Chain A
Amino acid sequence: MSAGAEAVREPFHARLAGWLERAFNPIMVKELRASMRGARFFVVHLTILSFFAGALLLTLGLAMSTQTRHGAGADPARVGQTVYMITQLVHLAVVFLVVPGLAATSITGERESLTFDLLLSTSMTARQVVWGKFTAAMAQTVTIFVSMVPLVALCFLFGGITVYQIVANYVFLFALSAAMVAFALSISANSRATQRAVGSVYGIALLVGFFVALAVVGVAEREPILTGMAEAYGFLPAESSPRGREITLFQRVMYVHLMPGFAWTALFSVFLINAVNRLKPIFANRSTNLRIYYAAVLLAGGALVAATFYHEMPPDTNTSDRSAALMGFAIGLLAASLASALFACEDPVQVGPFGIRTEVPAGERGLPGFLRPGSETGAVYVLVVNVGFLALAFVAFIPFSAGFGRGAWTGLPDVYPVALAFVCAALWVWFVAGFARFLATTFWGRPVLLRAVLVIVCLALAVLPIVHWAISTEIDRGEDIDPEGRSGPATLALSPAAAVVSVLDLATYRRSFPLLAGGLPIPALFAVFALIAGALFFGLAGRAQSRLRAELVREAKESRRGENRED
Chain B
Amino acid sequence: MIEVRDLAKNYEGSWAVRGISFEVGAGDIFGFIGPNGAGKTTSIRIMSTLLDPTSGTIRVDGKCVVEHAHEVRRRIGYMPDNFGVYDRITVWEYLDFFAASYGLGRRERLSAIEGIMQLTDLTGLRDRLTGELSKGMRQRLCLAKTLVHNPKVLILDEPANGLDPRARIEFRALLKELRNLGKTIFISSHILAELSDVCTALAILEKGRVVASGPVEEIKRALQPGLAFRLEVLGEAEACRGALEGLEGVGAVKADRSALVFQFSGERERVPDLVRALVAKGVPITGLQELKTDLEGLFMQLTRGDVQ
Contact = CB atoms under 8 A, between A and B. Distances in A.
A118 B69 contact: no
Interface string B13-49: 0010011000000000000000000000000010011
Contact of A281 (B54, B57, B69): B69
A120 B89 CA distance: 19
Interface of A: 8, 10, 14, 18, 21-22, 26-27, 29-30, 33-35, 37-38, 113-115, 117-125, 281-283, 351-355, 556, 559-560, 563, 567
A131 B233 CA distance: 75
17 contacts: A14-B96, A35-B88, A37-B89, A113-B86, A113-B87, A117-B78, A118-B80, A118-B83, A119-B101, A120-B50, A123-B74, A125-B70, A281-B52, A283-B52, A354-B57, A354-B66, A355-B55
B191 interface: no
B52 to A, nearest CB: 4
A37 B98 contact: no
Nearest to B12: A445
B105 to A, nearest CB: 9
A353 B48 contact: no
Given A35-B88, A283-B66, 8 more contacts: A22-B106, A27-B101, A33-B93, A113-B84, A115-B83, A117-B45, A118-B145, A352-B52
Given A120-B50, A121-B49, A353-B55, A563 B82 contact: no
A34 B86 contact: yes
Main secondary structure of the interface of B (DSSP, over half): mixed
B65 to A, nearest CB: 9
B9 to A, nearest CB: 10
Nearest to A36: B88
A21 B106 CA distance: 10
B84 A114 contact: yes
Interface string B180-217: 00000000000000000000000000000100000000
B111 interface: yes
Interface residues of B, number: 46
Contact of B100 (A29, A120, A281): A29
B86 A30 contact: yes
B97 interface: yes
User: Could you say which of B19, B97, B102, B103 has the most chain A C-beta atoms within 10 Å of its C-beta?
Assistant: B97
A37 B101 contact: no
Interface string B51-82: 11111010000000010011001101010101
B88 A563 contact: no
B111 to A, nearest CB: 7
A559 B54 CA distance: 13
Nearest to A132: B101
A38 B88 CA distance: 8
A39 to B, nearest CB: 11
